[in-house]
């Protein structure tokens, strides 16, 4: 018995039917893929985010194998909301942090990184998550007491104006002493004709007349000499009174300038801050010299050893130190100035920026941010922009 013949039209119909079924299956699968996103387990299969951190009290504390702090708690909450694994990379300075992020060696940079126009030009930032600013720290008690007598004299002696005044007065005394000797040496035996002895006597006479001591062991006897002596006496009144007033004014100004009560008192003081920080940029912009340190802890040591008069740095960092390890030793004075916002740093064009921002907004809206803030700073969350 032979095989039944299959109609060509039947075969074509079966093929078109199979093709239609295949197209339907593919369409349904694609629709399911786009309508229903991949489960969290599939998302977490992405490589861990590289998070670069640096020590900055109280935002990041680094122990041997652990890290903690306000920024650490905040980031770990953000990462949980994103459903992403991560690994920490430690550096020592904010400059190293920014370099790692800029060169795509890290996906996230967080500690207390100020958002600035200069930084925004080379990296991206999340929306601000902490509002801060700069403040001044001094040794405890130095902001409400006058400097010691030694400090006042030290300031006076170190003043270029003081030494210029002394030099000018000395030159004038020598010139007038020569004039007395030249006028008196031929007729007045009290002024020897020899140059060294004669000029010395002229200088002596000039000095005792200037300070109105008037020992009387030397007097001008010639008419020109007496005319010069009279002129010198009157001039001495103005010189002595002017010099005394200048020194008195300098001492008074030095006393009041010794009080550091805020930003306005920074000129003329020995300052310290962390090199490369926004506070260093602020001081550079105002042409205020300072000692740049590698870490803020190094600046604390300089202040406590009295090698600097004040520290200029981020307000929350200084406030935390003044209320913990530096309590009774240092004090934060004056109002916050040069306000700035902290943000999370990301490489320029990073696709993680949007998800970080969404997670940060959710944390803020549901009260999680306030709880983290209270854990480290106490009270209401005043630090959020």
CA 246 remoteness from chain centre: 35
Round to whole Å and give the CA distance between 251 and 246. 9
Q: What local confidence, expressed as pLDDT, does residue 359 receive?
A: 96
Least confident of 70-79, 80-89, 186-195, 274-283: 186-195
Residues 141-154 have pLDDT tens digits of 765 444 555 555 65
Query: Could you please report the per-residue DSSP string of 161-218?
Result: HHHHHHHHHHHHHHHHHHHHHHHHTTT-TTS-SSHHHHHHHHHHHHHHHHTT---SS-
Pairing outcome for strands 49-53 and 86-90: parallel
Is pLDDT above 90 for 244?
no
Residues 267-289 have pLDDT tens digits of 989 999 999 888 999 999 999 99
Which residues touch 240 (CB under 8 Å, ≥6 apart)?
A: 210, 211, 212
Nearest in space to 64 (alpha carbons), one of 56, 55, 73:
55
Q: 40-129+343-377 and 138-145+263-339: same fold?
A: yes
Tell me if 117 sits within 8 A of 125, measured CB to CB. Answer: no
Is pLDDT above 90 for 52?
yes
Task: Identify the CATH number of the domain defined by range 138-145+263-339.
Answer: 3.40.190.10
Round to whole Å and give the CA distance between 200 and 33. 106
Q: What local confidence, expressed as pLDDT, does residue 60 receive?
A: 95
Is pLDDT above 60 for 15?
no
Nearest in space to 336 (alpha carbons), one of 170, 134, 140, 128:
134
Task: Identify the CATH number of the domain defined by range 40-129+343-377.
Answer: 3.40.190.10
Query: Could you please report the per-residue DSSP string of 364-377?
Result: HHTTHHHHHHHHHH
Is pLDDT above 50 for 34?
no
Q: How would you write 289-342 as a 3-class SS string?
A: CCEEECCHHHHHHHHHCCCCCEEEEEHHHHHHHHHCCCECCEEEEEEEEEEEEE
Q: What 3-state DSSP class applies to 53? A: strand
Is pLDDT above 80 for 242?
no
Residues 83-123 have pLDDT tens digits of 999 999 999 988 999 999 999 999 999 999 999 999 999 99
Q: What local confidence, expressed as pLDDT, does residue 156 receive?
A: 62
- Using a 10 angstrom Cβ sphere, with 0-12 exposed, 13-18 middle and 19 or more buried, the burial of residue 117 is exposed
Task: Identify the CATH number of the domain defined by range 149-257.
Answer: 1.10.287.70
Domain ranges for the chain = 40-129+343-377, 138-145+263-339, 149-257
Q: What local confidence, expressed as pLDDT, does residue 381 receive?
A: 61
pTM higher than the cut 0.75? no
Round to whole Å and give the CA distance between 129 and 383. 8
Is pLDDT above 70 for 201?
yes
Q: What local confidence, expressed as pLDDT, does residue 311 receive?
A: 96
Round to whole Å and give the CA distance between 314 and 112. 9
Query: Could you please report the per-residue DSSP string of 219-248?
Result: ---SHHHHHHHHHHHHHHHHHHHHHHHHHH
């Amino acid at each position: 018995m032979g095989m039944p013949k299959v109609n060509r039209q039947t075969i074509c119909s079966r093929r078109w039917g199979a093709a239609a079924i295949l197209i339907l299956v593919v369409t349904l699968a694609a629709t399911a893929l786009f309508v229903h996103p991949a489960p969290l387990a599939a998302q977490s299969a992405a490589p861990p985010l590289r998070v670069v951190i640096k020590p900055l009290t109280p935002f990041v504390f680094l122990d041997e194998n652990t890290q903690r702090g306000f920024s650490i708690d905040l980031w770990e909450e953000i990462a949980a909301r994103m459903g992403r694994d991560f690994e920490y990379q430690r550096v020592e300075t904010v400059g190293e942090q920014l370099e790692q992020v800029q060169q795509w060696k890290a996906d996230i940079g967080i500690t207390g990184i100020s958002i600035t126009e200069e930084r925004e030009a080379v990296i991206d930032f999340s929306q601000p998550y902490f509002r801060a600013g700069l403040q001044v720290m001094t040794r405890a008690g130095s902001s409400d007491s006058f400097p010691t007598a030694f400090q006042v004299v030290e300031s006076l002696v170190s003043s270029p104006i003081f030494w210029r005044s002394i030099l000018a007065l000395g030159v004038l005394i020598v010139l007038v002493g020569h004039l007395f000797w030249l006028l008196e040496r031929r007729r007045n035996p009290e002024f020897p004709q020899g140059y060294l002895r004669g000029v010395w006597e002229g200088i002596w006479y000039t000095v005792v007349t200037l300070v109105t001591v008037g020992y009387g062991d030397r007097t001008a006897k010639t008419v020109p000499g007496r005319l010069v002596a009279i002129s010198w006496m009157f001039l001495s009144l103005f010189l002595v009174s002017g010099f005394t007033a200048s020194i008195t004014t300098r001492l008074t100004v030095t006393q009041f300038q010794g009080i550091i009560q805020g930003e306005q008192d920074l000129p003329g003081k020995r300052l310290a801050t962390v090199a490369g920080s926004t506070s260093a940029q602020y001081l550079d912009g105002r042409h205020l010299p300072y000692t740049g340190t590698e870490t803020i802890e190094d600046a604390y040591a300089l202040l406590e050893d009295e090698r600097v008069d004040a520290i200029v740095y981020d307000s929350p960092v200084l406030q935390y130190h003044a209320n913990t390890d530096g309590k009774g030793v240092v004090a934060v004075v004056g109002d916050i100035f040069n306000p700035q916002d902290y943000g999370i740093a990301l490489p320029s064009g990073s696709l993680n920026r949007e998800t970080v921002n969404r997670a940060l907004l959710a944390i803020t809206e549901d009260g999680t941010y306030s709880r983290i803030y209270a854990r480290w700073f106490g009270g209401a969350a005043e630090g959020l922009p």
